[in-house]
Structure 1
Amino acid sequence: MTYEPAITKPQSGDPATYDLVIRRAHVFDGHKALNGLYDIAVMGGEIAAVSASPIHGAKEIDAAEGWVMPGLIDSHIHFYNVFAVSDPASMDAFEENELPGRLDSFLQYGVTTIKSVGDPTSGILATRAKIASGQLRGPRLLATGCGVTGRDGHPAATIFSKNPWARARFAGEVGTVQEMRDLIHYLADMKVDAIKILSEGACACHSDEKYVWQIPGFLGPFELERLPLDMLQAGIETAHERGLRATVHTAQQDVAREAIEAGADALEHGVMNEPITDDSLIQLMIDRDVMFVPTLYAHGEAHPELVANVKKVSDAGVGIALGTDTFAGKGIYGENTLAETELMVAAGMTPLQSLVAGTSAAAKQCERADLGVVEPGKRADLLLLSADPTENISNVRKLRKVILNGEIVVEKD
């Protein structure tokens, strides 16, 4: 898509006065760095103008030749504390004591949209509603509700093996094609933003035999079975019937191919247990416009094959969307997202490619065409940085201001 920045004026032709104008900024627009300096105007929560000529607003910020870019989007997070929530009382305690701080943490690091892909359906949707209504302060929240898996599949029989109360809420276990369809319809009726299906765990398994899942020194071992193909197909088909994007948790080549051929819109983790040796799989991702969500923050260190695969698919032209697999107990919410941008560059992507993954490509993964770009008519989710992130990806940490829906929500200068 080609976009030429231009001033937007009211129909009367009089000079426009906007709610907010950021003046004299370099711009990364979600796709590329624009040449020169621009004024960016905000009106009613939307970007109203990107102009090379001076414009004025009721409130003006001098960028002093700093950089404006879209707010970051993390398309794969787990928000509720899976290790602390085990009954109604602990759920209430989490929502009262821990949840607000996690939401604020994302904003403090410039993450303006998050997508939850495996939290308790009623809880995460209630949190989404409270953010949307202004009862809670936080980034824009999108949610799949529970992760959909087979009977005794991952994460039901792994992460939640000793927590039956949470297992029944964080994981949706199905044993037949009809149960799969019924659960997808239920989630669609609950107004989730997308569907997440778990086809396997995070370990190598070829054929239909049981295999062992474990995190050395942490959890396991557990015997698991793959989600049967007919159930996977039914889940994706039903999601599409309800107008929802279906993203599938995969870990190896044959499962990734199976998911894509079944109609998956994206691969969570992609291929992380083995090098991608099948070039036709990469071509299939390109032909079907399937997004690859690497989650290097959570899995890159344990799976060096994933790091190499990220560069290979990126070089080939596969769409990469930023997702961290952030969960309780590892790192800081929001800061993990910045680390993911750096890890993608360390894996061989350019700073520009990493920025695209965290903005316009992540918006595509979330099916939110109104996000992830600096362009008139889009939501005014913006970051003001003091240095060029397209030159050095770590400059995303040099954050001056965070703007969400046209409002300044974080000021660091």
Structure 2
Amino acid sequence: MNKFKKFGIINSLIFLIFSLTLLLGASLARGDELGRLILTNCQIIDCSERHQDPLRNMTIIIEGNRIVSIKKGKYDANASEEESRVIDLKNAFVIPGLWNVHVHLSDIFPDPNHIQDGELLASAVIRAGLNAMDGLQHGFTGIRVVGEKGYLDVAWRDAFEQGLFLGPRIFACGEVVSPTGGHRGDIAGGADGVAAIRRAVRAQIQRGVDWIKIMEVEMLDDEVQTAVEVAHHNGLRVAAHSREPTTYRSVKLGVDSIEHGYGLKDETIKLMAKKGTFYVPTIVCNLSDQYILEREKRLAQLGFANNPKIVRARTMIAYADERSAEHALWQRLALQKAARAGVKICVGSDSNPIGELGYLEIEQLVLSGLTPREALVAATRNCAELCGVLDKLGTVEIGKLADLVVLSDNPIENISNIRKVQMVIKDGVIVKPEKFLGASRLWDFYNISKLKSGFLAEAEKAAGFSRGKIKQ
């Protein structure tokens, strides 16, 4: 479908994004754009199947947005190469750009300030864009959005692709396809029956989505089969919010990825491995009190608990999704079994912000039994393969697009070294975070804020009560 035709479908969102572009300046989108970028004196963890250990004393040459050379040895600069920029990384580690493939860009959970109550779509659009660009700063160069209001993920995808802003690559699914009462009864007015499901999937495709997301638990067999059939006929893949006992059925009917996979059984794991079904466990959202405490203690010992705002918010998010000890253990063991069976695991945080929660998900994969290298592959190569772009992204190899993250320390030795980001390169462009973000961050949505005095203060006073949010 023509890009501008898709823009017509969601013209209100694009108008907002264009307005933001005019305010911020179009030059922000390209960062440090150079014809030739040379990264030398570095170690490479390429996440390919060919190399298990870091490649040492390496040089990467990027021309435009592609990696054109990877050689051993330090680069010998030629004085005549005026169009090149050579960066000595001083033995830092280069990994592929990170991915987070279970994202809801605008979501706030929990929402202590009730921001989403009656919220304007325009407000959600702004927050979604901030979340995406903040995620890029953290090294997440690719994301898959698995459910959004008003197709704002499609709008931001196109805005990033056209260079209006510098953000991650987005694989969008628009709105979810669900029967009435899907997602534990949350969805009203869904698509019921084969004809309605077929129409709903085609409507998503018409709006330019990259993926179809279904709420398979409440769907009948013929409804799941129809969703898969229509999506695959049109070259799209299907992600399924899933729990047993229906997960086995949906894998058998051909869904491409299982999201969450609550209560995953051994027979389902075997079938997933056989059929090549990807697993996005969102393990960071399936933690017991014990696991949350262990995680925070570990991060404090490593020195990643210095910002009280971040610690408070990520802990609040964890407890909003707290699970029983039995459930958390089951999910952990199921993840281990899936990895041993050869199921391809992918990183997806579900909660926001996608940067910090993406880090937590990668770390939690290791705490749940994967090796650090397996966790890195789950955050890079597997996600690129899931989204059908492994030929272009997901590993550090010649000919691939230059989506890279530079880390000061080795994440194979300690997975939390993914937090020690020195540089992010997306599509051959060095990301300059100070150029396009304000003073506020996503964490500010999770910290209790007071409302401005004025009409609300007067109204509450007249009504004889106070919610404790009035700024005096």
Aligned residue type for 1:298: C
Contact 2:103–2:354 under 8 Å retained in 1: no
Aligned residue type for 1:295: T
1:33 shift after superposition: 3.1
**Structure 2 segments unaligned to the other structure (5+ residues):** 1-33, 289-322, 435-472
Contact 1:27–1:67 under 8 Å retained in 2: yes
Q: Does the alignment pair 1:315 with 2:333?
A: no
Residue deviations 1:24-79, cap 9 Å, x none? 11111123334322101111111111111444571111111110000101011001
1:19-34 to structure 2, matched below 5 A, reads: 19-31=36-48, 32-34=52-54
1:342-381 to structure 2, matched below 5 A, reads: 342-369=363-390, 370-381=392-403
Cross-structure match for 2:70: 50
Q: Does the alignment pair 1:398 with 2:420?
A: yes
Q: SS state of the match for residue 393, structure 2? A: coil
* Whole-Å separation in 1 of the counterparts to 2:376 and 2:173: 24
Whichever structure has more strand as a proportion of its residues is: 1
Q: SS state of the match for residue 361, structure 1? A: helix
Cross-structure match for 1:265: 256
1:99-248 to structure 2, matched below 5 A, reads: 99-154=128-183, 157-158=185-186, 173-200=190-217, 226-248=218-240
1:326-345 to structure 2, matched below 5 A, reads: 326-327=351-352, 332-345=353-366
Q: 1:409 aligns with which of 423, 431, 456?
A: 431
The verdict on how the C-alpha distance between 1:63 and 1:342 changes in structure 2, with shifts beyond 3 A counting, is same
Identify the range of structure 1 (134-143 vs 338-347) with the bigger mean alpha-carbon deviation: 134-143
Identify the range of structure 1 (346-355 vs 78-87) with the bigger mean alpha-carbon deviation: 78-87
1:93 shift after superposition: 2.4
Q: SS state of the match for residue 145, structure 1? A: coil
**Structure 1 segments unaligned to the other structure (5+ residues):** 1-16, 161-166, 201-225
Aligned residue type for 1:321: C
Cross-structure match for 1:39: 59
* Whole-Å separation in 2 of the counterparts to 1:244 and 1:300: 32
Cross-structure match for 2:25: none
Q: Percent identity?
A: 30
Q: SS state of the match for residue 36, structure 1? A: strand
1:231 shift after superposition: 0.3
1:284 shift after superposition: 1.2
* Whole-Å separation in 2 of the counterparts to 1:322 and 1:275: 17
- For normalisation by structure 2, the TM-score amounts to 0.70
The verdict on how the C-alpha distance between 1:154 and 1:357 changes in structure 2, with shifts beyond 3 A counting, is same
Q: SS state of the match for residue 263, structure 1? A: coil
The verdict on how the C-alpha distance between 1:188 and 1:307 changes in structure 2, with shifts beyond 3 A counting, is same
Contact 1:70–1:359 under 8 Å retained in 2: yes
* Whole-Å separation in 2 of the counterparts to 1:77 and 1:183: 21
Cross-structure match for 1:164: none
Q: SS state of the match for residue 184, structure 1? A: helix
The verdict on how the C-alpha distance between 1:372 and 1:108 changes in structure 2, with shifts beyond 3 A counting, is same
Tell me how large the CA RMSD over aligned residues is. Answer: 2.1
* Whole-Å separation in 2 of the counterparts to 1:189 and 1:247: 18
Cross-structure match for 1:8: none
The verdict on how the C-alpha distance between 1:73 and 1:198 changes in structure 2, with shifts beyond 3 A counting, is same
Q: Does the alignment pair 1:294 with 2:281?
A: yes
1:283 shift after superposition: 2.0
Contact 2:214–2:238 under 8 Å retained in 1: yes
Cross-structure match for 2:24: none
Which structure: larger Rg? 2
The verdict on how the C-alpha distance between 1:100 and 1:249 changes in structure 2, with shifts beyond 3 A counting, is closer
Aligned length: 348
Aligned residue type for 2:404: L
Aligned residue type for 2:65: G
